[in-house]
Structure 1
Amino acid sequence: MFLRTSIFIVVLSYCLTTATADELNPSQTPTHVRLLYPRHNVTGPNPNDYECISERASDYYGIGVRLGLYFSWCTSWLANTGMPDEVTGALDQNAVFLFATIVALVRCTITFVLTQLDCLIMMHLGMGTVLSVLSTWGYRTCHYQQEGPQAIKHYGGIGTHLRLALSGAISAFSVWFWHKGVMPGDADLINDVGPCATVYTFMFAKLNAAGPIRIFYIIVSVFWTVYFCIMILVSPLAGVVRFQRIVALTRAQRFRTSHRLHIATGLNYRQLRYVFNFLRALNFFWIVFSMITVEFSLNYNHVVSVLGPQGRIYFPSQLIPMIIGAFTLTRILYKKLEKLRGGDDVEPTVVREATVEGPPQEMPSRRNIFKLFAPPTSHVQPRSKYVPEDEDIDPKMDGKSAWIRYLVVYLPWLSLLFSSQNKSGSHSVEGGHLSADSGDVEGRAQSAQDTLPGSPASTANKEKYGSWHSEGIDRDAVPRSWSRSRISTGGLMNKKQRKTQS
Structure 2
Amino acid sequence: MYGLGIRIGYYLQWYGGILAAWIAPEESSSLRLANALFVAATFLALFIQTIQEHAEKSFPIVETYIILFLAFGSYLVLVPIYLWRIFTCCNPYLDPTRFPRVNPGRVYGYMNSVLLTAVLGFELWYWIHQVPKLATVKCVQYGFFFHKIQLNNRGFRMLNIIFCLFLLLCCITLVCMKVVSKVRPSQGKKVILKKEQYKPLDQDLPKRAHLMQILDSTSQFIVATTVIIGVELTICWNKIQDVHDISSAGQTIPMILGIGALIRVIYVWKFKKVAHEAVSSDPQPAGYHIVDPHNGFAQPPPPTPWHQMPAPQSPAPSPPPPNQKPTSWDSMPAAARESVHDLGHNPNYYSA
The alignment's TM-score, normalised by the length of structure 1, stands at: 0.45
2:224 partner amino acid? I
Does the aligned pair in 2 maintain the 1:75–1:329 contact within 8 Å? yes
Contact 1:124 1:290 in 2 (8 A): yes
Q: RMSD between aligned alpha carbons?
A: 3.1
1:94-136 deviation digits (Å, cap 9, x = unpaired): 1101111221222222221532011110111111122349x9x
1:92 matched residue in structure 2: 33
The answer on 1:229 being equivalent to 2:172 is yes
Do the aligned residues in 2 keep the contact of 1:81 with 1:141 (CA within 8 Å)? Answer: no
User: Is structure 2 residue 265 aligned with structure 1 residue 328?
Assistant: no
Number of the residue aligned with 2:238: 301
User: Structure 2: which 5+ runs fail to align?
Assistant: 82-95, 188-204, 280-290, 297-304, 306-352
Residues 1:318 and 2:251 aligned together: yes
Write out per-residue CA displacement over residues 340-386 of structure 1, whole angstroms, 9 at most, x where no aligned residue: 5665655544249xxxxxxxxxxxxxxxxxxxxxxxxxxxx9xxxxx
2:161 alignment counterpart: 218
Computing the radius of gyration from Cα coordinates, the structure with the larger value is 2
Distance in 2 (alpha carbons) for counterparts of 1:218 and 1:326: 35
- For 1:67 and 1:317, the matched residues in 2 are separated by 12
Kept in 2: contact 1:71–1:329 (CA 8 A): yes
Distance in 2 between the 1:292 and 1:323 partners?
Answer: 21
In the alignment, does 2:30 pair up with 1:71? no
C-alpha offsets along residues 67-98 of structure 1, whole Å, 9 cap, x if unaligned?
A: 11111111111122342211210111011011
1:114 aligns with 2:63: no
Q: Larger helix proportion, structure 1 or 2? A: 2
Q: Is the 8 A contact 1:79 1:332 kept in 2?
A: yes
CA deviations on 1:449-478 (whole Å, 9 max, x unpaired) are xxxxxxxxxxxxxxxxxxxxxxxxxxxxxx
The structure 1 segments of at least 4 consecutive aligned residues displaced by more than 6 Å after TM superposition are: none
Give the structure 2 partner of residue 19 of structure 1: none
Aligned counterparts of 1:118 and 1:180: Cα–Cα separation in 2: 15
- Give the alignment of 1:425-436 within 5 angstroms: none
Q: Distance in 2 between matches of 1:74 and 1:140?
A: 20
Task: Report the alpha carbon displacement of residue 295 of structure 1 after superposing the two structures with TM.
Answer: 0.3
Q: Is the 8 A contact 1:132 1:284 kept in 2?
A: no
Q: Normalising by the residue count of structure 2, what TM-score does the alignment of the two structures yield? A: 0.63
In 1: Cα distance, 2:112 partner to 2:26 partner: 19
Q: 1:182 to 1:300 in 2, by over 3 A?
A: same
Describe how 1:117-156 pairs up with structure 2 within 5 A. Answer: 117-132=62-77, 139=98, 141-143=100-102, 155-156=105-106
Map residues 378-417 of structure 1 onto 2, 5 A cutoff.
none
2-side partners of 1:100 and 1:140: how far apart?
30
Query: Aligned equivalents of 1:294 and 1:238: distance in 2?
Result: 40
* Structure 1 segment 9-408 matched on structure 2, within 5 A: 60-111=1-52, 112=54, 114-132=59-77, 139=98, 141-143=100-102, 155-156=105-106, 158-184=107-133, 187=136, 190=137, 193=138, 197-211=139-153, 212-240=155-183, 272-307=209-244, 311=245, 313-339=246-272, 343=276, 347-351=291-295
Deviation per CA, 1:36-55: give whole Å up to 9, x if none: xxxxxxxxxxxxxxxxxxxx
Amino acid at match of 1:155: G
> Which residue does the alignment assign to 1:440?
none
Relative to structure 1, is the Cα distance of residues 234 and 79 closer, same or farther in structure 2, using a 3 angstrom cutoff? Answer: same
CA distance in 1, matches of 2:117, 2:208: 27
1:79–1:86 contact (8 Å) kept in structure 2: yes
Decide which moves more: 169-178 or 69-78: 169-178
Distance 2:232 2:254 in 1: 18
Residue identity in the other structure for 2:142: Y
Deviation at 1:141, TM superposition (A): 3.8
Query: How far apart, in 2, do the equivalents of 1:271 and 1:169 lie?
Result: 35
- In 2: Cα distance, 1:178 partner to 1:117 partner: 11
3-state SS in 2 of match to 1:182: helix
Distance in 1 between residues matched to 2:41 and 2:224, nearest whole Å: 19
- In structure 2, C-alpha distance between the alignment counterparts of 1:124 and 1:87, rounded to whole Å: 23
Alpha-carbon shift at residue 202 of structure 1 (Å): 2.0
Extract unaligned runs of 5+ from structure 1.
1-59, 144-151, 245-267, 353-380, 382-502
Q: 1:235 to 1:78 in 2, by over 3 A?
A: same
Quote how far apart the aligned CAs of 1:227 are. Answer: 1.8
- Structure 2 vs 1, CA of residues 239 and 344 (structure 1 numbering), >3 Å: closer, same or farther? farther
Q: Say if 1:349 and 1:229 are closer, same or farther in 2 by CA, change over 3 A.
A: same
Structure 1 CA distance, aligned partners of 2:267 and 2:182? 39
CA separation of 1:292 and 1:241: change in aligned 2, threshold 3 A: same
